Amino acid sequence: MSRNLLMMATVVAMALVFAAPAFAEDVMEQQGDCTINWSKKFIQCKGQGSPNLKRSQNVSQARLLAEAAAKADAQRNIIGALKGVKVKANITVGQEMNDNHEVSTKIEGVVKNFQVVATRYYSDGGVEVDVKMALDGALTKVVLQKDLKVAKSDQTTGVIVVAKGKSLVPVLAPRILDAQGNVIYGAAMVSEAGAKNGIVAYHGSVNEAKDDTRVSDNPLVIDATDVKDAVDVVISVEDAKKLKELDSKTGLFSNGRVVFVK
């Protein structure tokens, strides 16, 4: 199928999807190449990438570069569309980004976490992607950071274990051990609901970890003394005792409110 015919078929298919009863009641807004679904609170955009044979050693590499270019284009389109979204009656996201460099940087960081929902490869080597990103959650928190009332909890809301420089390898089911090798935290302690986002989250800095909603707004930060088998963090006996007491009072472990910094 030629690229023009495939694009025409895609447009028709998308028109049929958005005309379906499931979307009939949804509140939609078009911003350039992006569609904002206010009912389901997500933004969906397209991105296109063309092959660059001069920079590629073979066709496969050209296709990979085109796909990366399409994702980068989609990311730019998301940011461009978000700039036109109104925060309040007379303020747009774009104005907030222009007025506050920190907000702009954080939004760009959040947008990088978009989800690719469709990829189309064309006979000329070009690639087109559809990407999707939630409006709620991290994005709303950044945009409304000046307006949201932050109720600082007196109760510890999560645990951040810092293992910087200890060659920690991310795995699906890591553990926290004490100096004697006793398991302080592991998969067996997490409820099914608590494990829906994984046993732990991994971040590259303490600041990023503190922004993770799984540890909320008042996490306890402790340092790992060692790493066992490259995947389990080891903490002091004193910190282990502290974590056990916290868990008995708050149920942190059952809810999987643990982040590792590596």
- Residue 52: per-residue pLDDT: 76
Strand-pair partners of 201: 259
Same domain (yes/no): 117, 186: no
- Report the C-alpha gap between 136 and 119 in whole angstroms: 24
- Residue 80: per-residue pLDDT: 94
If you count DSSP H runs as helices and E runs as strands, how many of each does the chain have, helices first? Answer: 8, 15
- Report the C-alpha gap between 155 and 1 in whole angstroms: 60
Strand-pair partners of 87: none
How many other CB atoms are found less than 10 A from the CB of residue 70? 25
Give the residue from 87, 115, 143 where a domain finishes.
Answer: 143
Q: Which long-range contacts (CB under 8 A, 24 or more apart) does 26-32 make?
A: 31/80, 31/81, 31/82, 31/84, 31/85, 32/77, 32/80, 32/81, 32/84
- Residue 237: per-residue pLDDT: 94
Same domain (yes/no): 118, 227: no
Matching residue, tokens 């350039």: 32
Q: Hey, what are 233's tokens?
A: 């963090």
- Residue 47: per-residue pLDDT: 94
Same domain (yes/no): 47, 136: yes
195 occurs within a structural domain: yes
CB 52 within 8 A of CB 62: yes
Q: Which amino acid, one-letter code, is at 102?
A: E
- Residue 23: per-residue pLDDT: 52
Q: Which amino acid, one-letter code, is at 39?
A: S
Same domain (yes/no): 136, 46: yes
- Report the C-alpha gap between 22 and 30 in whole angstroms: 18
CB 219 within 8 A of CB 153: no
- Report residue 113 CA to chain centroid gap: 4
Same domain (yes/no): 102, 49: yes
Q: Are strands 115-121 and 183-185 parallel, antiparallel or unpaired?
A: unpaired
- Report the C-alpha gap between 36 and 137 in whole angstroms: 15
- The pLDDT profile of the chain, 262 residues, written as one tens digit per residue, is 455 555 555 444 454 444 444 455 788 898 888 999 998 899 999 999 988 766 666 777 888 889 999 999 999 999 999 999 988 888 899 999 999 898 899 999 999 999 999 999 998 889 999 999 998 888 888 888 777 655 455 688 899 999 999 999 999 999 999 999 999 999 999 998 888 888 999 999 998 899 888 888 889 999 999 999 999 999 999 999 999 999 998 889 999 999 999 9
Same domain (yes/no): 126, 251: no
- Residue 89: per-residue pLDDT: 84
Same domain (yes/no): 106, 12: yes
- Residue 132: per-residue pLDDT: 95
- Residue 16: per-residue pLDDT: 43
- Residue 18: per-residue pLDDT: 43
Residue 11, domain extent: 3-143
Q: Which long-range contacts (CB under 8 A, 24 or more apart) does 250-253 make?
A: 250/155, 250/156, 250/157, 252/156, 252/157, 252/158, 252/159, 253/185, 253/189, 253/190
- Residue 180: per-residue pLDDT: 94
- Residue 22: per-residue pLDDT: 45
Same domain (yes/no): 107, 180: no
pTM attached to this predicted model: 0.52
